[in-house]
Homo-oligomer: A and B are copies of this chain.
Amino acid sequence: MLDQYRDLMATASFNRWAGFRVVAAADGESELRMTWRPDDMGQYAGFLHAGLIAALLDTACGLAAATVSGQVLASQFSMQCLSPGVGDEFIARGRVVKAGRSQVFTSAELHAVTGETVKLVATATTVLVPTGQPVIVGAAA
């Protein structure tokens, strides 16, 4: 199944550009990783741009939701930015809080890794809506 989630992730051109790697996706939980690139990922002070913080958290939430509810679209996203996004590697972990028929509620945390140091950068919650499509993409191909 992990390969199917990786294939689904890779259909998103932005995810490919950002280099999101699916480390885990099962049973309402997910883990994504991304390597820091100063040349195209920074905000004005040189930290990880809030758009990429949001992208990692939102994608981890969507991936966790997909393991329970198939393909989903985010409708509401809330994020707390706790610490500047400074690190060599970023790890986003998502988790389904409640999966209903018409809405899936999830939460996620983003950590920055610098050498041996791991630091909580941001947390988020999302509301997602199942599209009714399964995770498997391009099955006919």
Contact = CB atoms under 8 A, between A and B. Distances in A.
Interface of A: 8-9, 11-18, 38-45, 49-52, 54-56, 58-59, 71, 73-84, 97-98, 102-103, 105, 107, 120, 123, 125, 127, 129, 137
A135 B35 CA distance: 29
8 contacts: A15-B44, A45-B73, A51-B55, A51-B59, A76-B76, A76-B80, A77-B78, A97-B120
Contact of A12 (B42, B56, B80, B98): B42
A133 to B, nearest CB: 9
Contacts of A74: 50, 81
B77 A97 contact: no
